[in-house]
């Protein structure tokens, strides 16, 4: 089973309206449409403008987070239906910055994953260990637990469409990347867990991206690993050239 790689840019809280739309336009003009699937995750306030640039193109866009409720008294939050209303196909859920900076629990992340599918979005469920957890030999236990709670509320049919992103916390924004072997080992463990939980067929369909200081210089080696099905890119996704070089490396 060949999985189509997904290379995604998580723009985090960066750019302004003009730079966000220019970046989207640059990616659109510089990409061929074949090879890896491309998605971008702009800040909420620029989603509409970016969506207008990318509409009727093969490039997808999505939210960096969402609330699990469809509407209500949740000041400052954004719902899944609001994202689909803007043409979003994906939503990042459980990014390590949400878990560690904003205190989101694995249980809350699971509710968001279920709500994303409910809204017609494909969640990109992020998992990853801290450096202390890795040093203590707890990596598998940590990512399995995040995955288990993440998928707790979804059906096997929904699980087939899920995207998982393995992002070791110690590799995010630090310039330090997991080696291709370190990443592949965790990706294979995650696919093994998914095989036990669902089936070999389902696990073979689920794309598992790697994220954490992915750059043009290390992308090809990482993406050549059997169980690495794309990249979730932060810093290097903010420039057209470096992002497209990573997309090209996914061939």
Rule CB under 6 A: is residue 233 a binding residue for ligand 13P?
yes
Residues 6+ apart with CB under 8 A from 116: 66, 80, 91, 93, 122, 123
Task: For ligand 13P, give the closer residue by CB, 198 or 234.
Answer: 234
Q: What minimum distance in Å lies between the beta carbon of 156 and ligand 13P?
A: 27
Binder among 63, 94, 123, 211 for ligand 13P (CB under 6 A): 211
Rule CB under 6 A: is residue 235 a binding residue for ligand 13P?
yes
Torsion angle of the four alpha carbons 157, 160, 163, 165, in this order, in degrees rounded to the nearest 10 = 110
> Active-site residue 187, yes or no?
no
Rule CB under 6 A: is residue 172 a binding residue for ligand 13P?
yes
Binder among 83, 147, 159, 214 for ligand 13P (CB under 6 A): 214
Rule CB under 6 A: is residue 240 a binding residue for ligand 13P?
no
Please count the residues of this chain forming the interface with ligand 13P, following the rule CB under 6 A. 14
> Active-site residue 67, yes or no?
no
Task: For ligand 13P, give the closer residue by CB, 82 or 214.
Answer: 214
Which listed range, 31-39, 52-60, 155-163, 206-214, lies at the site for ligand 13P (CB under 6 A)? 206-214
Q: What minimum distance in Å lies between the beta carbon of 107 and ligand 13P?
A: 21
* Full 3-state SS string of 179-217: CHHHHHHHHHHHHHHHHHHCCHHHHHHCEEEEECCCCHH
* Cα separations in angstroms, 238 against 128, 203, 213, 244: 23, 31, 13, 10
Residue nearest to ligand 13P (CB): 234
183 and 210 in contact (C-beta within 8 Å)? yes
Q: What minimum distance in Å lies between the beta carbon of 157 and ligand 13P?
A: 27
Reduced to 3 states, what is the DSSP secondary structure of residue 230? strand
245 and 139 in contact (C-beta within 8 Å)? no
Q: Using CA atoms, how far apart are residues 216 and 205, in angstroms rounded to an integer?
A: 26
DSSP β-ladder status, 163-166 and 60-63: unpaired
Active-site annotation holder among 95, 104, 129, 187: 95
Residues 6+ apart with CB under 8 A from 195: 202, 203
Binder among 167, 187, 222, 246 for ligand 13P (CB under 6 A): 167
Q: What minimum distance in Å lies between the beta carbon of 140 and ligand 13P?
A: 21
Q: Using CA atoms, how far apart are residues 92 and 209, in angstroms rounded to an integer?
A: 12
Q: What minimum distance in Å lies between the beta carbon of 89 and ligand 13P?
A: 17
Binder among 234, 246, 249, 250 for ligand 13P (CB under 6 A): 234
Active site residues: 95, 167
Residues engaged in binding ligand 13P (CB under 6 A): 10, 95, 167, 172-173, 211-214, 232-236
């Amino acid at each position: 089973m060949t999985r189509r790689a997904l290379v995604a840019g998580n723009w985090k809280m960066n750019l302004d309206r003009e730079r966000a739309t220019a970046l989207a336009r640059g990616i659109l003009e510089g990409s061929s449409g074949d090879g890896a699937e491309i998605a971008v995750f702009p800040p909420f306030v620029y989603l509409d403008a970016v969506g207008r640039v990318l509409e009727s193109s093969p490039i997808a866009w999505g939210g960096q987070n969402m609330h699990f409720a469809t509407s209500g008294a949740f000041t400052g939050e954004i719902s899944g239906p609001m994202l689909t209303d803007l043409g979003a196909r994906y939503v990042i859920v459980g990014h390590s910055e949400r878990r560690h900076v904003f205190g989101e629990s694995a249980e809350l992340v699971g509710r968001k994953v279920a709500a994303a599918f409910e809204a017609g979005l494909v969640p990109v469920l992020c998992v990853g260990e801290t450096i202390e957890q890795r040093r203590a030999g707890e990596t598998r236990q940590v990512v399995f637990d995040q995955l288990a709670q993440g998928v707790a509320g979804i059906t096997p049919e929904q699980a087939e469409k899920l995207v998982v992103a393995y992002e070791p916390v110690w590799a995010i924004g630090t310039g330090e990347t997991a080696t291709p072997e370190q990443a592949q080992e965790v990706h294979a463990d995650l696919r093994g867990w998914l095989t036990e939980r669902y089936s070999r067929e389902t696990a073979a369909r689920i794309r598992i991206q790697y994220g954490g200081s992915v750059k043009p210089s290390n992308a090809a080696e990482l993406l050549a690993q059997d169980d690495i099905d794309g990249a979730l890119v932060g810093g290097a996704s903010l420039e057209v050239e470096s992002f497209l070089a990573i997309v090209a490396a996914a061939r």
